[in-house]
Amino acid sequence: MTVTLADVAARARVSPATVSRVLNGNYPVASSTRERVLRAVDDLDYVLNGPASSLAAATSDLVGILVNDIADPFFGIMAGAAQSQIGGPGDGSGRAGGEKLAVVCNTGGSPERELTYLTLLQRQRAAAVVLTGGALEDPAHQAAMTAKLTKLADAGTRVVLCGRPPLQEGDAVLAALAFDNRGGARRLTEHLIALGHRRVGYVAGPLERTTTRHRLEGHREAMKAAGLYGDEENVTVHGPYDRSSGYDATLELLRREPGITAVVAANDTVALGACAALRDRGLRIPEDVSVAGFDDLPFSVDAVPALTTVRLPLYEAGARAGRLAMGKETPPPGGIVTIEAEVMERGSTAPPSR
C-alpha cells in the first residue's frame, strides 16, 4: 500500500502541514520536530511525489548547472563547488529535507543546446539555474537568452551567472559573478614585459566568446601601454580552448614570427599544447621561449616547468553561486560582483635570452 503524507504525519505525531514544511524546507521547524518527521519518513520509506509537489508549488527541487564541457576542469571545479552547496549536508543519512537535486547540463558550447536545456529546466519548474563560463557574442542568441532567462525568473527560478558577464538588458539575473579576465590578462602581460619580452605571441580562444575578447583586450592594453602595439594580428592565433589548439597555434606563431620570446595562452590547457609544440621544435622553456596560461587549473603547478598563469578562484566562485541559487546568501548590491584575478609567477617565464 502506498504511504501517504498523512501516514507520516500520524507516525510523527504532527500535522500534515508540518511534514510538508520539513520536506520542502520552506518554513522554520524546531529541530526536534524535524528529526521526528524525518525518522517517520525513514521508517515508512515515504517518497515525496516530486512532480505533484512542483505543480502545487512555484518551483521544484531541481537546480540546473549549465557548463560548456564537464571534462574541462575549469567547468568541472565550478560545477562541483556549486553542487556541494545545492545538494545538502551529505551526512550519510540519505534523508531529504529541503535539499535540491543538482543536474549538470553539458552544452558542448552549442548555443542551441544551451537554450534547449533552459527550456527543459523551465518545464521542470527548476528552483534555480546556474550558468557558468563565458557567453556567446551573438546578438540573436543574446536576445534569446535574455528572453528565456526572464521567463524563468518570472516563474520563480533563481538565475545565477558564474564566470559570465551580466546580461545587457533586463533584471532576470539574481547575481552575476564575473571574473576579471581583462585585468588578469593585462597584469600577466605586464609581468612578461617587465621581464624584458617585446615579441609576445598570443594564442586566443574562439572569436565569438566573451572570455576570449576580454582576455585578449587585457593583453593588448598592456602591449599598447608599453609601446609594443601595431603588429597584434600577426602574432595572434584563435582556436578552441584545448591542447591541440595550443599546439597548432604555437607552430603557426613560430612560422609567422620566429623571433617571439614568449607565448601567452588563452588558458592552461592551451598552454600545455604550446609547451609541447615548443619542445618539438627543440626550444627550451623558459630559456628560449616563456609560456604563460590562464585559470590556474590544478595541473598547472605540476607542469615542468611549473606554469606561470592567472589564478581564478573557481571553487570559491562556484560555491558562492550555489549558495545564491539556494537562497543561502544575500545577493550583492546591484547583483554584480567582479572577482579578482591573481598572477601566479612560476618557472615557465623568465627574462628572454635573445
Prior bond to 51 cis, omega within 30? Answer: no
Helix (H) or strand (E) holding 63: strand 62-67
Torsion of CA 206, 211, 217, 221, to 10 degrees: -130
> What pLDDT, on the 0 to 100 scale, is given for residue 89?
55
Specify the residue for cell string 585559470.
295
Partner residues linked to 175 by β-bridges:
160
First to last CA, the chain: 82
Contact by Cβ (8 Å): 193, 222: yes
Q: How far is CA 18 from CA 24, 72, 97, 125, in A?
A: 10, 43, 12, 23
As given in the structure block, the three cell numbers for residue 245 are 589548439
| Residues near 228 by beta carbon (within 8 Å), at least 6 away in sequence | 193, 198, 200
3-class SS at 66? Answer: strand
Alpha helix positions (H), the chain: 5-12, 16-24, 31-44, 50-56, 73-86, 111-123, 139-154, 181-195, 210-225, 243-256, 268-280, 314-326
> How many angstroms separate the CA atoms of 158 and 154, rounded?
9
> What pLDDT, on the 0 to 100 scale, is given for residue 230?
79
Picking from 300, 292, 299, the residue whose alpha carbon sits closest to that of residue 260 is 292
Q: Is the pTM of this model over 0.75?
A: yes
As given in the structure block, the three cell numbers for residue 102 are 543538482
3-class SS at 53? Answer: helix
Contact by Cβ (8 Å): 286, 272: no
Longest CA pairwise span in the chain (Å): 82
Q: What is the pLDDT along the chain (354 residues), one digit of tens a residue?
A: 678 888 889 999 988 888 887 876 656 788 888 889 888 887 887 766 555 544 444 567 899 999 999 999 999 999 999 999 997 655 555 555 567 899 999 999 999 999 999 999 998 999 999 999 999 999 999 999 999 999 999 989 999 999 999 887 777 899 999 999 999 999 999 999 999 999 999 999 999 999 999 999 999 999 999 999 778 999 999 999 999 999 999 999 999 999 999 999 999 999 999 999 999 999 999 999 999 999 999 999 999 999 999 999 999 999 999 999 999 999 988 899 999 999 999 999 999 987
Q: What is the DSSP letter of 1?
A: -
Q: How far is CA 177 from CA 74, 75, 78, 181, 324, in A?
A: 15, 14, 12, 12, 10
As given in the structure block, the three cell numbers for residue 308 are 606561470
